[in-house]
Amino acid sequence: MAKLELQNLYKKYSPKVVPVKDVSLQVEDGEFLTLLGPSGCGKSTLLRLIAGLEPVTEGQVTIGDKNVNQVPPGDRNIAMVFQSYALYPHMTAAGNISTALKLRKMPQAEIERRVQEAAQKLELNHLLDRKPGQMSGGQRQRVALARALVRDPEVFLLDEPLSNLDALLREQVRAQMKQLFKEQNKPVVYVTHDQTEAMTLSSKVAVLYDGQVQQLAPPNSIYNKPANQFVAGFVGSPQMNFMTLKCQENTAILGKLAIPLADISNIPNRIILGIRPEDLRLATPEDKYVLQGEVFLVEELGKENLISLKVDDSDLTIRVLLPTDCDWGGKTIQLALPLKQLHWFDLETGDRLGN
């Protein structure tokens, strides 16, 4: 029995606004599931259904072995961290962290022990007497995390908890969080639209679009074998390149190249080819499948460059090291096509074709 299970869950606000459509998933103890998707795809709504902050329209939410559809949020033993922190402004950090424990009438000594332990883990000891107005955004965020940790809940729910932090702080808290939740050994459901967070923190990622789960898999499968064109385009930066190609016999035609479509069974008339910018490299004389492209933009990233080029009427971006001390504009370069790293998608449905 999974610790947290959603079965065919729906949320309808009106016939046209259905932000959660037939979502089923399970999260076990110690699993870190991330809900990843663009703004408005239903991530927060799904989290609020699990927390009981919104009634379910259809389907079941199970925690432990109990259906909690009718259980009010306060009785679900869930700790939720909101994007907006939701701290009490008139209380100190220590007061905010311990509120839920006081409500539970936990002995004072145990409350203090838990607050100290969480404060230590999140490096908040010197801030316990401060009120939220006297703390930075990152410090408030860590207080909100500490408040969730001390409760020892059955499930952790986190809604974009790092989105208000600057890039450096986000990296630090992200690393801390990974370790902290590992130690908790409880199911975690984490909402973000940041793919780096999803890839680094999660044991499983559910990519959501328009209220539906597009793919539910470990991060490396999401990246290496995206289930459809939406997932392929959403995960990876810069975005995967897509080209629509005509098919002929068992090949797809790209300029003068006939690319074999070995493991696709019913080959359509036209097909979408996907190539990640990092999978393209400059060709050497040994390469058999070579593309020719005309450079129109070079962006320096420091360690490497993003090169945009025109290939057979399409624009491609590649990520490579190129000397930048000469003007590449208008120059023609040869790229090796990595047959094993190509992705194929159905033109109509966007579904992945082949392996």
Ligand X SMILES: Nc1ncnc2c1ncn2[C@@H]1O[C@H](COP(=O)(O)OP(=O)(O)OP(=O)(O)O)[C@@H](O)[C@H]1O
43 vs 352, beta carbon nearer Mg ion:
43
Q: 281 Cβ partners below 8 Å, 6+ apart? A: 318, 320, 335, 336, 338
From residue 34 to residue 53, the character string flagging contacts with ligand X as x (rule: CB under 6 A) and all else as - is ---x-xxxxxxx--------
246-265: which residues touch ligand X (CB under 6 A)? none
The residue among 42 and 277 lying less far from ligand X, judged by its C-beta, is: 42
Consecutive H or E run containing 317 = strand 314-320
Cα 238 to chain centroid, rounded: 15
Instruction: For the segment 154-193, give every residue that binds ligand X (CB under 6 A).
Output: 193
Query: 88 touches which of ligand X, Mg ion, none (CB within 5 to 8 A by kind)?
Result: none
| Cβ distance to ligand X smaller for residue 5 or 159 | 159
Centroid of chain to Cα 57: 26
CA-to-CA dists, residue 119 to 30, 142, 146, 161, 185, angstroms: 22, 9, 7, 17, 19
Using DSSP, state whether 231 is helix, strand or coil: helix
Q: What's at 310, amino acid-wise?
A: K
Report the nearest approach of ligand X to the CB of residue 46 (Å): 7
Task: Closer to Mg ion by CB, 83 or 251: give it.
Answer: 83
Cβ contact 319:237 at 8 Å = no
Among ligand X, Mg ion, none, the one that 13 touches (CB under a kind-dependent 5 to 8 A) is: ligand X
Part in contact with Mg ion (CB under 5 A); list of ranges 37-45, 111-119, 168-176, 178-186: 37-45
**Which of Mg ion, ligand X, none does 45 bind, CB closer than 5 to 8 A by kind?**
ligand X
User: What is the chain's alpha carbon radius of gyration, rounded to the nearest angstrom?
Assistant: 24
Residue 303: closest CA among 282, 284, 326, 322: 322
DSSP 3-state percent helix, strand, coil across the chain (nearest 5): 30, 35, 40
Judged by beta carbon, residue 25 or residue 252, the one nearer ligand X is 25
CB of 208 to ligand X, least distance (A): 7
Closest approach of Cβ 211 to ligand X, in Å?
7
Q: What's the CA gap between 163 and 160, in Å, rounded?
A: 6
* Residue 203: strand, helix, or coil: coil
Q: Do 316 and 346 touch, CB atoms closer than 8 A? A: no
CB of 113 to ligand X, least distance (A): 36
Q: Please provide residue 235's backbone torsions phi and psi, each rounded to the nearest 5 degrees.
A: -105, 125
Q: Which of the choices ligand X, Mg ion, none does residue 39 contact, using the CB cut-off of 5 to 8 A by kind? A: ligand X
**Residue 225 one-letter amino acid:** K
266 binds, among Mg ion, ligand X, none (CB under 5 to 8 A by kind): none
| Tokens standing for residue 242 | 């897509």
Q: Provide, rounded to whole angstroms, the least separation between the CB of residue 122 and ligand X.
A: 24
Which residue has the CB atom at the shortest distance from Mg ion? 44
For residues 153 and 211, which CB has a smaller minimum distance to ligand X in the complex? 211
In whole angstroms, the minimum distance from the beta carbon of 40 to ligand X comes to 4
19: contact with ligand X by CB under 6 A: yes
Q: Specify the pairing of strand 188-192 against strand 155-159.
A: parallel
**Min dist. Cβ of residue 193 to ligand X (A):** 5
Residue ranges that bind ligand X, judged by CB under 6 A: 13, 17, 19, 37, 39-45, 193
Q: Which spans of this chain sit near Mg ion (rule: CB under 5 A)? A: 44
